[in-house]
Amino acid sequence: MTVKKIIINLNTAPDAKGLTALNELNSFFNDRDFNVDLNDNRLTVNLRAIDLKKFSLIKKTVQEYCGKENAQMLNQIEDSINAIKSYGIKNGKRIYVDYNKERKVKNRVVKEGRRGKYYYAQQHKYIDKNSKIPDKFNDQIICGDSLNELQKLPDNCIDLVFTSPPYNFGLEYEGSDDDHNWDAYFKKLFLILDECIRVLKYGGRLIINVQPLFSDYIPSHHLISQHCIKRNLIWKGEILWEKNNYNCKYTAWGSWKSPSSPYLKYTWEFIEIFCKGKLKKTGEKDNIDISADEFKEWVVAKWSIAPERRMKKYDHPAMFPETLAERVLKLFSYK
């Protein structure tokens, strides 16, 4: 029988009252679920399942007559059980062995096939044939209208697109406004995204950083995701970019102290990740530049990165930090 064993080394072996206390404790529980063995001054707790509320009540009763030292021994047993943070709960008991056995999906691969992964993208018409980017565009910073410049590129030539479109908040960009009618805003944005999708290689990634305009109740991240799914891209995931910007509109409460219409506060933005044609991106092993520690940290889809503070220096109202771009490039593309 599989049990979880806890070893407790005592300073001294229990006296007669201590032995009685352990026997009393064991007698209240099913031996299969819980029992304590003593070998000199070493306790072994054999644990499968236990009702900790019941244990605490029994412990207090036994402690009344077992003496101070033995009472401390019982406390050590309880503390060692409470220190275990991985368990299931069933019928009021904490389950420490095979607690996730019932939750495992049998024949998982077969069931995934039956359900159909990314069913919405299965009928895509993307061609698994990539183009070489023209030399004149290679390693260049191109300034211009996104739609016009993207139209100059051939199909299937870009490995990764990372973009953060204007949020339509009303920020002042040189040569354009940021407070369009929403229909006009999304019409122009979707034209640009369609060009991004066109130039993206088969297996390439389209990654979009966006923050909804909560005051207008426009879920931009959902509407953009809906558009990409309609274009048969595969939704790979979503990252929360936690900016820790706790000064955001803390004077706007909506309905103060009322459920009528409270104004929710957000300190994060969204990063939506899509793939074109297939989930897996192929590349040379030598071109992987992400470290093991970076990988383990960054696959947790909540990134705490401070916002860019040098916007005045670079005369741009909505820059994202280089750290954000570095993470996206390393995690989702090859060199």
Mean pLDDT of the region 202-226: 93
pTM: predicted TM-score of the whole model, two decimal places: 0.67
Among the ranges given (109-113, 193-197, 218-222, 327-331), the one the predictor scored with the smallest mean pLDDT: 109-113
- Amino acid, res. 194: D
Report which of 162, 142, 255, 252 is spatially closest to residue 206, judged by C-alpha positions. 162
pLDDT of the residue at 317 = 65
Among the ranges given (8-17, 229-238, 287-296, 309-318), the one the predictor scored with the smallest mean pLDDT: 309-318
Question: Long-range contacts of range 188-196, CB-CB < 8 Å, 24 or more positions apart?
Answer: 188/147, 189/165, 189/224, 190/227, 191/147, 192/146, 192/147, 192/150, 192/165, 193/224, 193/227, 193/228, 193/231, 194/231, 195/146, 195/147, 195/150, 195/151, 196/150, 196/161, 196/163
In Å, how far are 37, 59, 135, 229 from 24, measured between CA atoms?
A: 13, 9, 82, 63
* Other C-beta atoms lying within 10 Å of the C-beta of residue 7: 9
pLDDT of the residue at 64 = 86
Tokens of 271: 């990063």
Is residue 303 classed as helix, strand or coil in its secondary structure? strand
pLDDT tens digits along 240-277: 999 886 555 545 567 778 888 888 888 899 999 999 99
Contacts of 137 (CB under 8 A, 6+ apart): 152, 153
Domain boundaries, the chain: 4-95, 120-332
pLDDT of the residue at 170 = 53
- Amino acid, res. 268: W
Classified by CATH at the fold level, domain 120-332 comes out as Rossmann fold (3.40.50)
Mean pLDDT of the region 191-203: 98
pLDDT tens digits along 12-39: 888 999 999 999 999 999 999 999 999 9
